[in-house]
Amino acid sequence: MRIDSIFLREIRLPLVQPFETSFGRTTERRILLVEIRAEGLSGWGECVAGEHPYFSEETVDTAWLMAQQELAPALAAADPEHGGKCPEIFRPVRGHRMAKAALENAVWDLEAQMKGVSLAELLGGTREVIDCGVSIGIQPSLEKQLAQVEREIAAGYQRIKLKCKPGWDVQVFEAVRTRWPDIRLSCDANSSYRLKDVDHIASFDNFDLLMIEQPLWADDFYFHSMLQKQIATAICLDESIRNRRDALAAIEMESCRIINIKCGRVGGFSEAIAVHNAAQERGIPVWCGGMLETGIGRAHNIALSSLENFTLPGDVSASKRYWSEDIIEPEVEVSPAGQIQVPDSPGRGFEVRADLVDRLTVRREEIRA
């Protein structure tokens, strides 16, 4: 493809309600969007890096710097024919996977449009609908937590994930389980426990959780494997899995029985597919995580979730849970059965509202080929 320009934009968008995890509270997102213009078409990508380096080392500012100074110029000079070529183009830059993913995914988006196929089809997806769960942030009170769970169950979501941390765990699981004995329930600790908490974590086994996501250190496999031996509930790794080799190591060491795949965390669609395939070959189910994305990242997550081994409901949910007005059209909607339709039109299947993006933009830069 002959790339004309790569546009970087930072938009600001307030969340409809604050989202709290063990590492902090987010009320407004600062989001780096990538637009690649080539041959009369536009491919879009969204960087999932947050404002602070809490979930990962990357932030919206480091991603901006890397995209502007290293990655976008390299991409514009390389004119790749296929999104799958991006990892090679970006290889000289170590790390910065969220910045790389934003650019790589825009290339896949563009390629799908050029070939006249849906992004899902280009990625090798086979599902026409995907199953959806929700991630519910830490709430100011147990009462508010239960009200949130009630609302999401009523909306049809197939799995409820509760964010937890020391001091906000078993009493919450107990209350939710007592009221809803049969729902699919999981929790996500975002690395807030230590191995000395093993007896406490083992008590989570009482609540029939589908999984415990990332209980220990973000860079660890070994201690997770020690923990997994001592608890019945399946561990799911999120932060620890940065690429296919990490997935292989974690599976081999039995550090987890389930893997959460996020495009941004692994550096783009190519590596996400590689993690998916490695897990599938070894009988490990995967699901698609979320990072409070706008509709662009959400559209990409829907396409990725259409791959065969995404057998568990993901954290990909309706636009309106996050934004009063999303930047795509139509917005992402979830059926009463808790499913999202995978678009079959060319590309990402959701139009970007360029006028709205312009109004939300606080910084902009064009990198010309």
Active site residues: 163, 262
Residue 185 as a binder of ligand OSB (CB under 6 A): the answer is no
Q: Give CA–CA dist 185/67, Å, rounded.
A: 38
Q: Are 48 and 98 in contact (CB under 8 A)?
A: yes
Q: Give CA–CA dist 8/36, Å, rounded.
A: 9
What is the number of the residue whose Cβ is closest to Mg ion?
Answer: 238
Residue 291 as a binder of ligand OSB (CB under 6 A): the answer is yes
Q: Give CA–CA dist 114/266, Å, rounded.
A: 25
DSSP class of 130: E
Q: Give CA–CA dist 335/155, Å, rounded.
A: 8
Q: Position 279: which residue type? A: A
Sign of CA dihedral 30, 343, 160, 227: negative
DSSP letters, 309-348, are: TB-S-BS---GGGT-SS-SEESPP---TTSEEEPP-SSBT
291 contact, one of Mg ion, ligand OSB, none, CB 5-8 Å limit per kind: ligand OSB
Between 35 and 238, name the residue whose CB sits nearer to Mg ion: 238
Smallest gap, in angstroms, from Cβ of residue 105 to Mg ion? 20
Between 72 and 134, name the residue whose CB sits nearer to ligand OSB: 134
Between 46 and 213, name the residue whose CB sits nearer to Mg ion: 213
Smallest gap, in angstroms, from Cβ of residue 260 to Mg ion? 6
292 contact, one of Mg ion, ligand OSB, none, CB 5-8 Å limit per kind: ligand OSB
By CB under 6 A, which span of 114-122, 217-225, 245-253, 287-295 interacts with ligand OSB? 287-295
Write the CB contacts of 274 (distance below 8 Å, at least 6 apart in sequence): 243, 244
Smallest gap, in angstroms, from Cβ of residue 368 to ligand OSB? 33
Smallest gap, in angstroms, from Cβ of residue 238 to Mg ion? 4
Helix (H) or strand (E) holding 90: helix 86-90
Closest CA to 317 of 356, 347, 288, 345: 288
- Which phi and psi (to 5°) does residue 275 adopt? -65, -45
Which of the residues 2 through 31 are near ligand OSB (CB under 6 A)?
21
Q: Position 218: which residue type? A: A
Residue 190 as a binder of ligand OSB (CB under 6 A): the answer is yes
Closest CA to 268 of 61, 39, 108, 94: 108
**Segment 58-61 long-range contacts (CB within 8 Å, at least 24 positions apart):** 58/95, 58/96, 58/97, 58/98, 58/99, 60/10, 60/30, 60/31, 60/32
Between 66 and 291, name the residue whose CB sits nearer to Mg ion: 291
By CB under 6 A, which span of 111-119, 146-154, 177-185, 285-293 interacts with ligand OSB? 285-293
Q: Give CA–CA dist 275/259, Å, rounded.
A: 9
Which of the residues 220 through 279 are near ligand OSB (CB under 6 A)?
238
- Which phi and psi (to 5°) does residue 354 adopt? -60, -40
Smallest gap, in angstroms, from Cβ of residue 315 to ligand OSB? 4
Smallest gap, in angstroms, from Cβ of residue 162 to ligand OSB? 10
Which of the residues 301 through 340 are near ligand OSB (CB under 6 A)?
315, 317
125, 133, 290, 343: residue in contact with ligand OSB (rule CB under 6 A): 290
Applying CB under 6 A, what is the total number of residues that bind ligand OSB?
Answer: 12
Residue 289 as a binder of ligand OSB (CB under 6 A): the answer is yes
Residue 131 as a binder of ligand OSB (CB under 6 A): the answer is no
Q: Position 324: which residue type? A: S
Smallest gap, in angstroms, from Cβ of residue 257 to ligand OSB? 17
Where along the sequence are the contacts to Mg ion (CB under 5 A)?
188, 213, 238
Between 100 and 161, name the residue whose CB sits nearer to Mg ion: 161
Between 59 and 317, name the residue whose CB sits nearer to ligand OSB: 317
Between 7 and 323, name the residue whose CB sits nearer to ligand OSB: 323
Q: Which residues bind ligand OSB (CB under 6 A)?
A: 21, 55, 135, 188, 190, 238, 289-292, 315, 317
